[in-house]
A and B are shown apart, each in its own frame.
Chain A
Amino acid sequence: MATDEILVRRAQAGDMAAFGELVGRYQDRVYGLSTRLLTCTEDARDAAQEIFIRVFKTLPGFDLRADFTTWLYRVATNVCLDQLRRRHRERLCSLPARDESGSQDRLQDDRAGPEELLLDKERQQAVRRAVADLPDEYRVALVLHHYQQLSYRQVAACLDLTEKTVATRIHRAKLRLRQRLLLGGESDAL
């Protein structure tokens, strides 16, 4: 399997097939990021498409000495933040349509009864709402670290922040989630 660097070099030279391979390699991660930042599958899909188009257009300027994944997440985060700025918070979709019959629910069919499934779904939706209601700067740091598995250093590089600021934002995000989901700060306590 070709490395990212090889594919990026080929894509920079105009090789569409190589770029297609990069898209295939990263589409789940990019879509996962946009879903969690925008909390709406329709917006997330549009954002993911826009992210890859922007990546393609700016790829000739990408410095191969840099880490491609971090750069990709930086582009992706900027596109998502642009979208968030463009729309009102009220437009956030709290319950993505795909979730209604999502693969996760089907996977759990064998091991859980209907009540357990319902409880899991309620918990998941409470988590989604709680994450969606975090301030953007907290949510971005949390999502990049917890869901996209970026280290504090990578998140800092991605967002042009210091590691200390990233740590503070993630800390505060978790405190808010703890207050809301565990201590009954709002109606989503579990």
Chain B
Amino acid sequence: MRCSKAQEMLNRYLAGSCNPLESEAVAGHLAGCPGCAARLAELKDVNELLDLWQQESAPEDLLQSVMQSLRRQPQRQLEEQPVAGRTAMLIRHLAVAAILALAFTWGAGPWLANAEVVDANKLVSSYAGASDNVSKHTVSTAERVFSKLNYEEWLRR
């Protein structure tokens, strides 16, 4: 291993971030290279100097300030979900509506086939009414979600 390569790896070696092969190669180089060994000692000194700048605790009132600031934010802004979240919600609602419609269709088919003709008219009417309700729910959900959609944000994405 060349000195330049070894020196590039010294920080990772010190941090224990080298893989076993790299560590072995660096250690082997250091054993026979006083110059790189001296550089390693200097890097250890730099690390010790850096450690003089110890962690300072956060100001005691930081947590309180953050929470107060969040409470002061307009509620609509805080509750606003990102576009990705709203789109996912829309897709979930539409999927549920589609599954319900399919299940209703599959369930109603055999039922209608076995019913008397007179009763079938009533069943078709109630089925149509239920289908209308599912459609209305789907449309109103879509409207509710899209009404909150920030189109500028959408375009940026």
User: Which B residue's beta carbon lies closest to that of A48?
Assistant: B62
- By DSSP majority rule, is chain A's interface helix, strand, loop, or mixed? helix
11 new A-B contacts, CB < 8 A, other than A60-B81, A147-B50, are A16-B71, A49-B66, A53-B69, A124-B53, A127-B52, A142-B50, A147-B55, A152-B17, A167-B8, A177-B49, A181-B46
Are B12's CB and A167's CB within 8 A? yes
Residues of A within 8 A of B82 (CB): 58, 60-61
Interface footprint category on A: 35 or more
Chain B interface, >50% SS class: helix
Contact across chains for A104 and B59 when beta carbons are under 8 A apart: no
**Within A92-138, which residues are at the interface with B (CB < 8 Å)?**
98-99, 102-104, 120, 123-124, 127-128, 131
Taking a contact as CB atoms under 8 Å apart, the answer to whether A56 and B85 are in contact is: no
Q: Is B65 an interface residue (CB 8 A)?
A: yes
Residue of A nearest to B9 (CB): A167
The reply to whether A31 and B57 contact each other, CB–CB distance below 8 Å, is yes
Shortest B35–chain A CB gap in Å is 14
Q: Are B52 and A52 in contact (CB under 8 A)?
A: no
- Rank and list the top 6 A-B pairs by shortest CB-CB distance, nearest first: A31-B58, A27-B58, A61-B82, A52-B66, A124-B52, A32-B55
